[in-house]
Amino acid sequence: MSIRPLKHAQPRIDSTAFADAECIIIGDVHIGADSSVWPYSVVRGDVNHIRIGHSTSIQDGSILHVTHKSTHNPNGYPLIIGDQVTVGHRAILHGCTIGNRVLVGMGSTIMDNVTVDDDVMIAANSLVTPGKHLVSGFLYAGSPARQKRPLTNDEISSLTYMANNYVNLKNQYLAQEQI
């Protein structure tokens, strides 16, 4: 794994988190307890900060980045990802805020200044365009993504199940590293 400081910002990864040997983590990045970053993912907090909560998985080939601060956007757009979030393979998250217990489907792109509330599912290959607000309790799909239907109780429960499944998987990888 390549963990690189930048501009005096050292990535901080909780001791219970897993960062695969083939991922890259740069700059002002904090990764919470029991989270995981899988092979070929890039987490680049170079021009703003990235915060990843606990029990969140960033799956293979995902790209996480931010938007710089400027005169027309003094705070830029950091990337904030909540707790128990499952980010599917090859997703792109850029300068957005993701709540807790969210599924970002494989191949989806979430763009600048998007807010995703808690308990949301975003279908695979969806495009969430800048400035959108995805409301809690719904499935969103398409390009551009649109609200499709309310989530069932089973689907809402599955958000926690998926997150816990990746915590268990990262524990297996960490245990293997100890051998």
Pick the CATH number of 2-178 from 3.10.20.30, 3.20.20.140, 2.40.50.140, 2.160.10.10: 2.160.10.10
Q: Contact 41/19 with Cβ under 8 angstroms? A: no
* Mean pLDDT computed over 94-111: 98
> What sign for the dihedral angle of Cα 44, 50, 55, 59?
negative
Tokens standing for 100? 């807790």
Q: What is the pLDDT of residues 132-149, one digit of tens each?
A: 999 999 999 999 999 999
DSSP assignment letter at 4: E
Question: Up-side HSE of residue 31: CA atoms within 13 Å toward CB?
Answer: 28
Domain borders along the chain are 2-178
* Mean pLDDT computed over 115-129: 98
Q: Which amino acid is at 94?
A: H
Q: What is the pLDDT of residues 8-46, one digit of tens each?
A: 899 999 999 999 999 999 999 999 999 999 999 999 999
What is the pTM assigned to this prediction? 0.96
Alpha helices (H) along the chain: 153-178
In this predicted structure, what is the pLDDT of residue 8? 84
Whether the ω angle into residue 144 lies within 30 degrees of 0, i.e. cis, is yes
* Mean pLDDT computed over 144-160: 98
In this predicted structure, what is the pLDDT of residue 1? 60
Mean pLDDT across the chain: 96
Task: Name the band, by pLDDT with cuts 50, 70 and 90, for residue 99.
Answer: very high
- Rounded to whole angstroms, the Cα distance separating 26 from 28 reads 7
In this predicted structure, what is the pLDDT of residue 5? 85
In this predicted structure, what is the pLDDT of residue 178? 73
The full 3-state SS of 56-78, as one line of letters, equals: CEECCCCEEECECCCCCCCCCEC
